[in-house]
Amino acid sequence: MGKINGQGVYAGVDIGSLTTKSVIMDTGRVIGSSILLTGVHPEKSGTDAIRKALDSIDRDQTDLRYTLATGYGRISAGYADDTATEITCHAKGVHYLTPSARTIIDIGGQDCKVIRLDESGNVTDFIMNDKCAAGTGRFLEVIASVFKVGLDDLGPMAMGGKESVPISSTCTVFAESEVISLLARGEKPENILRGIHNAISNRVAGMAIRVGVEKDIFFSGGVAKNAGMKAALEDAFHEPVVIPAFDPQLVGALGAAVLAGNLGSEA
C-alpha cells in the first residue's frame, strides 16, 4: 500500500494474533471501523482491515493523512507511518472513551493484560500474560468446542449456573480434560462454565494485585463481549467493571487512531 500522504482522516490498525482491527478517525471522532481474521499474512490483513474500514465510509486510501499500527503484527506494517505498543494504544483508547478509568483489564485472543493509568491516560504500570493461552479468547474457544456451543453462548450459560464448580487448572490442555471429566461425572454444564469464568477472573485479579487496582476498572478486548466474564470480574474485584458502548474489541485500534491523529497533526 505504501505510505499515504493524503489529507483528511487518520487510521489505526491493531494486528492481533487472531483478528485484525482498524479504526478511522476524523478530527477526534470515530467515523469507520472493521474487524477481520488475521490469517497467516499479517501485513495483508492490516491493509485489508484499513481498506475495509475506509470502504465503510466511502473513502479511499488517498484520504488517509497518517496511519499508525499496533499489535503483534505491527512489525510487518511497512505501510504505516509509525507504530506503537499494544499497551500504549489500549491506554490511549480507554482514556478517549472513559477518562475516569485507572485500571484496564484487556483479554484478547491469546493474551491478557492489566494496565494502570494516571489521570492523563499515561501508563504507570502493567502486567501481561502472553506465554500461555489460559484465560484468553483462545481458551474460551476450546471450552466452547467441548460444550459444542458458540462463544456467544458461554456467558449466558455461566450466568445461569446455580453453583460454581471449582476448576483446578486454567491451562488450556488440562482444563479441557478436566471439563470432559466433570461432564462425565454428571456436573451441570452451566455450573462448570460458571466455575471456568470464576477461575479466569481470579487469575486476572491475581495479576491485577501486582500492579494495583484503582477505580474505575475498564474491561476491553474481545472477551469483554462475554457478560458472564464481566459478572465474574465484578465478583473478583468487588467493584463495577466498565464496558463501553463502543466495541471493546476495537479499543487498541482506537488508541492507535488517536495517536495517529496526534502525530499526523504535528507532521
**Residue ranges covered by each domain of the chain:** 9-89+250-266, 100-243
pLDDT at 3: 40
pLDDT at 2: 38
pLDDT at 41: 92
Let me know if the fold of 9-89+250-266 is the same as that of 100-243.
Answer: yes
Topology annotation, domain 9-89+250-266 = Nucleotidyltransferase; domain 5 (3.30.420)
Distance of CA 116 to the CA centre of its chain: 16
- Rg, C-alpha atoms of the chain: 19
pLDDT at 193: 96
pLDDT at 176: 85
For the chain, where are the E strands, in sequence order? 9-15, 19-26, 29-37, 64-70, 82-83, 103-107, 112-117, 123-129, 217-220, 241-242
CATH class of 100-243: alpha beta
pLDDT along the chain (267 residues), means of 10: 57 94 94 95 95 95 94 93 96 97 91 94 90 76 92 95 87 83 94 94 91 95 93 96 94 97 82
* The dihedral sign for the CA sequence 119, 125, 129, 135: negative
pLDDT at 44: 94
